[in-house]
Amino acid sequence: MPNAQSATTVRDATEADLADIMDIYNDAVLNTTAIWNDNVVDLANRQDWFAARMARGFPILVAEVDGRLSGYASYGDWRAFEGFRHTVEHSVYVHKNARGHGLGGLLMQALIERAEAGPIHVMVACIEAKNEASIRLHEKLGFRTTGTFLEVGTKFGRWLDLTCMELRVGENG
């Protein structure tokens, strides 16, 4: 867990990080509504994901605390049609033992900088409507809520609402 003396860095992911990324991802699959999948993934799945993101020139960033991989953030195409090519949808995950210490904010600031350099025009976040931590994080970063789709997903035996937020890149101060 990060503390006042912890050394925190954000850097580009390498293939050597994929086992740690997989563990964070699978914990979110099993224990949260951040990902609306019921099935965990294996290393080959994350290797394919990494290769696809690199081939498209999309960033995968990781946060390390005292040398331990504690979170990651990335973006990919929002929609697969050419007209949407300046818009991306991102994800950000912090290890369960490292949440609430600013890592999500650090990762997102770095990801927004990459989007600015991209150049990406709009970033989209689609968040389970009760995920207050993620919605608060995105509000702090300047994202606006565009709307909430009701009961468009299901997990853990209940319907899930999806809140969508957008950032016009470069307008976040």
Q: Which residues bind ligand COA (CB under 6 A)?
A: 28, 32, 34, 91-94, 99-105, 125, 127, 131-134, 136-137, 140
- Minimum CB distance to ligand COA, residue 62 (Å): 13
Nearer to ligand COA, 103 or 167 (CB): 103
Query: Under a CB-based contact definition with an 8 Å cutoff, are residues 102 and 71 in contact?
Result: no
Min separation Cβ 115 and ligand COA, Å: 16
State the nearest-atom distance from the C-beta of 106 to ligand COA, in Å: 7
Written as six digits, the tokens of 2 are 């990060």
- Give the list of residues 6+ apart from residue 86 with CB closer than 8 angstroms, or none: 119, 120, 121, 122
Measured from the CB of residue 82, what is the shortest distance to ligand COA in angstroms?
A: 26
Closer residue to ligand COA in complex, CB, 34/83: 34
Q: Residue 59 or residue 104: which is nearer to ligand COA going by CB?
A: 104
Bridge partner list, 123: 88, 167
16 secondary structure, DSSP code? G
Q: What secondary structure letter does DSSP report for 95? A: -
Query: Quick one: tokens of 101?
Result: 């210490």
Spacing of C-alpha 14 from chain mean position = 17
* Nearer to ligand COA among residue 55 and residue 142 (C-beta): 142
